[in-house]
Amino acid sequence: MGKFTREQIADAHKEAKRLRLWHAELLEDFDRAAEVCNGIGAVWMPAIMRNLADALSPVMVLPSMIHDVEYHIGGDDHDRLAADVTFHTNVLFCIDDKYSWYNPLRYIMRYRAGRYYDYLRAIGGAAFNKKGEVK
């Protein structure tokens, strides 16, 4: 089901720690992360759409990995909101690390990050593991 190998997850974990991303420790379970991390977008989305989102917004792939694990762990509505906020915050950290303040892509990607957050809040619930539900 996952898109990444254990080695790619290990590299992502190392980078997440370097960037001090929120909840980077969730990538320490390489097997679980390799199973559930599928790039940007929900597992029910066609792979071509997820691959396109990854290609258009590569700076968001690492935060999406942490987000995938958080959604897999699941919880209640508060946990879902916290996962979505973590995703958005981590994306901003990655954008600021990759693009200098004078690079217009920094601001384009920050705008896109806001839209991705809006999409998560609007339709992400379908992919979130609610307590008590069998997935």
**Spans of all domains in the chain:** 6-127
- Report percent pLDDT > 90 for the chain: 89
Burial class from Cβ neighbours inside 10 Å (0-12, 13-18, 19+) for residue 52 reads middle
Is 77 within 8 Å of 66 (Cβ atoms)? no
Span 4-21, pLDDT tens digits: 999 999 999 999 999 999
Q: What is the pTM of this model?
A: 0.94
